[in-house]
Amino acid sequence: MNKKEEERRARLLKSRAERLPDIKKQFEEAQNRNFNSNFKPGGKDENLVSDKKTAKKTTAKTKEKVEAEKRKVNLSVSTKKGEMVHHQRMLSQDVNAQATQHIIGVPVNKSRYNGYNGEQITNAKLKMMRPDPDAVRIIPIGGLGEFGIGKNMTVIEYKSEMIVVDMGVLFAGEDYPGVNYMIPDIKYLEDNIAKVKAILFTHAHLDHIGACRHLLPKFSNLTPIYGTDFTIGMIKKQMSELDEEPDLNYITVDPFKHEKIKVSEHFSVEFIHTLHSIPGNTAIVVRTPNGLIYLSGDWRHENNPMGVQTDYERIDEIVAKEGIDLMLNESTNIDSPGRHPHSEYDVGENLGKVMDHYVNGRVIISCFSSQILRIELILKEAAARGRKVAFSGFSMINNLEVALRAKSIKVPKDTIMKMEDIIKLPDEKVCIICTGSQGELNAVLNRMVTGAHKYIKIKATDTIVFSSNPIPGNEPHVVSTVDGLLREGAQVIQNGKTHLTNIGPLHLSGHAYYEDHVEFVTRLHPTNYMPYHGEFYMLEHNAEMAENVLGIPRDRILISDDGDVVELLPNKTIRKAGRIYVGNKLYDDADQPVHEAVIKDRIHISREGIFVIILTLNKKTGHLMKTPDIVSRAFIYLDNSEELIGKIRHYLRQKTDKSISTDPEMKVLKEEIKEDITHILFDATGHTPIVIPVINKV
């Protein structure tokens, strides 16, 4: 070898050694991505390490290889191992993609409202950023840019003080088998728990209070918890369902008093009454050292609302006297054109029309259990027609109790009856309000269809009203419930299908439409604007509205993802300054935590199944003591697969026989059996179930 060549090689080796940490990192990342991958730690890059110390290891490796070769059994398969590995890798990518839909990989990326002029933000850039010690920090912990709307939670921070607004859940879709809901991971708050001076709630929908049962007990029981009467009532109800109800510091707020509540040295808060689809709904104004922040919460506009109109007077006063330095505005219906065309009164009137039209039968109305005003309207319409009303559904009755206690509902005299009594009345005197409008399998409406309901079985003379819209994702379930009702001969009237019966609308969205937003944000005239409460496209469309229609300069509009830190600076500009840790915690329907790895296994099993082999070996001789037991679940039905099972048993006998001379470690043997069996199964079926070999030595 000439000198030049030697030098070249030396250079090459040096650059390899320099690149090694990078290569290793990439390798590890790839390994983490493919949780089911066949990479082995230290496998691929082992050869790159030209260290003398590894020489011994290499000899040991060679010996292992020779012994493994001795144990090799001819699998008599027609597919290559590479095909199986490819299948496994594709599968694990699919599983990962499905199980991590709620994890935001690249925050806000290159949107022109990302706070970095549309440039991709990198970890290096984030690290370089210096937080301004005099900034007020606004940090969304949940509810922004996710898949589905929910788990709303915002933190506002200044020096050593924090306040928290809302603690919501997000209901998981069917992509997450066995998961009922998820809540925000509040590690950031737990690390700073002493700084939390107050917890505020805008309203009692579950996407704003649903995580209370898990999160409130983590805080000091002296931390004040603020909300309106109905909201606090609903939180207390939820907490009372815990095995051990914590003693917490609830403070009920009357938004009509316009009280400026000083919650800490630097923060004071004010609740503002706004319209939505639940009693006791509010926006929250936070006065900070760097200006006034308006958090819209959820809201809608109606010209002729039931109850008290949004407190526009107070809002106008604040705008005129103080000005709004930063507005956080919800984004749910930003894609709905125009204005909210109706009021709850219209819905009530139409429900009355249904009772008139189908005068001879029972009227069964299904709506969201938190629609207290809707329920009040139904009671009124029923009372006017001499119909009695009974309620069915656990949450429906719960919420009604809270509403009665908070005086959020007016009930006409002698109208409400118990279910067991109302069924004794003639059909034309009966009205039932129930849950199940989302087609939930175990909810009241479905139980009435299947005959599982204790008191009500659907009759051909019944009229069922869906006073709701299906939440995206629930449509197929609603269809199945409707089909079931129609098969029983009942009349079904759904909101949004006015052309069929000429009766509608029967439901109103609780969120403002596009033109409502234009009008309201114009009215508030905020200096800085931040869309929240929405999926990413909603946030983006909300920001576009602010820039293009309202003329707010682009550098005063920010779209954030959960975890982004937004600073409101003393000069009243906003900017992004880093990120905090955020995440999800998953729970099943028994309120027990579910680990993400479990979800991945469930998805894997649901697609490919599980295959267990139990071997009993003689401790001394290593021979198989009896025919291996094979258990197949969610994979193949064993009775129909004799040939395949025979092949597997044959393999196992050969494998154990061949292993006797080399006496491998149990771990190694299991791994080899797992790989071989997976290959045999893949060859026969095109699937790679989770294979679990169990070896007993007796």
| Chain contacts with Zn ion (rule: CB under 5 A) | 205, 207, 298
Q: Which two tokens stand for residue 215?
A: 């999160």
Closer CB to Zn ion, 209 or 430, in the complex: 209
Closer CB to Zn ion, 290 or 371, in the complex: 371
What's the min distance (Å) between Cβ of 636 and Zn ion?
Answer: 45
What's the min distance (Å) between Cβ of 154 and Zn ion?
Answer: 12
Closer CB to Zn ion, 205 or 374, in the complex: 205
Closer CB to Zn ion, 347 or 490, in the complex: 347
What's the min distance (Å) between Cβ of 299 and Zn ion?
Answer: 9
Note whether 218 and 186 are within 8 A (CB).
Answer: yes
Closer CB to Zn ion, 498 or 509, in the complex: 509
Biggest alpha carbon–alpha carbon distance for the chain? 107
Amino acid occupying residue 1: M
Note whether 562 and 140 are within 8 A (CB).
Answer: yes
Closer CB to Zn ion, 161 or 516, in the complex: 516
CA separation for the pair 378, 373 (Å, rounded): 9
Q: Which two tokens stand for residue 4?
A: 């030049």
Closer CB to Zn ion, 301 or 576, in the complex: 301
What's the min distance (Å) between Cβ of 536 and Zn ion?
Answer: 16
Closer CB to Zn ion, 255 or 693, in the complex: 255
Closer CB to Zn ion, 510 or 689, in the complex: 510
What's the min distance (Å) between Cβ of 166 and Zn ion?
Answer: 8
Q: Edge-to-edge strand order for the sheet containing 593-594?
A: 170-171, 181-184, 584-587, 593-594
What's the min distance (Å) between Cβ of 474 and Zn ion?
Answer: 17
CA separation for the pair 486, 445 (Å, rounded): 13
Place of tokens 């008599």: 76
Note whether 363 and 173 are within 8 A (CB).
Answer: no
Q: Which two tokens stand for residue 396?
A: 């429906």
Note whether 617 and 625 are within 8 A (CB).
Answer: yes
Helix, strand, coil percentages, rounded to 5, for the chain:
40, 20, 40
What number of other Cβ atoms are within 10 A of residue 618's Cβ? 13
Q: Which two tokens stand for residue 447?
A: 């139980």
CA separation for the pair 141, 435 (Å, rounded): 31
CA separation for the pair 191, 139 (Å, rounded): 15
Closer CB to Zn ion, 207 or 325, in the complex: 207
What's the min distance (Å) between Cβ of 276 and Zn ion?
Answer: 5
Q: Which two tokens stand for residue 270?
A: 């004010």
Note whether 543 and 113 are within 8 A (CB).
Answer: yes
Side-chain-side CA neighbours of residue 177 (13 Å): 12
What's the min distance (Å) between Cβ of 53 and Zn ion?
Answer: 60
- The single-letter DSSP state of residue 45 is G
Q: Write the CB contacts of 568 (distance below 8 Å, at least 6 apart in sequence).
A: 135, 136, 137, 138, 288, 290, 291, 293, 325, 326, 528, 574
* CA angle at 188 for the pair 186 and 192, rounded to the nearest 5°: 115
Closer CB to Zn ion, 534 or 628, in the complex: 534
Report the SS3 class of residue 225: strand
What's the min distance (Å) between Cβ of 328 and Zn ion?
Answer: 13
Q: Which two tokens stand for residue 468?
A: 């709701």
Torsion angles phi and psi, residue 515, rounded to 5: -65, -30
What's the min distance (Å) between Cβ of 611 and Zn ion?
Answer: 44
Closer CB to Zn ion, 200 or 677, in the complex: 200
What's the min distance (Å) between Cβ of 138 and Zn ion?
Answer: 18
CA separation for the pair 296, 274 (Å, rounded): 9
CA separation for the pair 415, 449 (Å, rounded): 25
Closer CB to Zn ion, 287 or 533, in the complex: 533
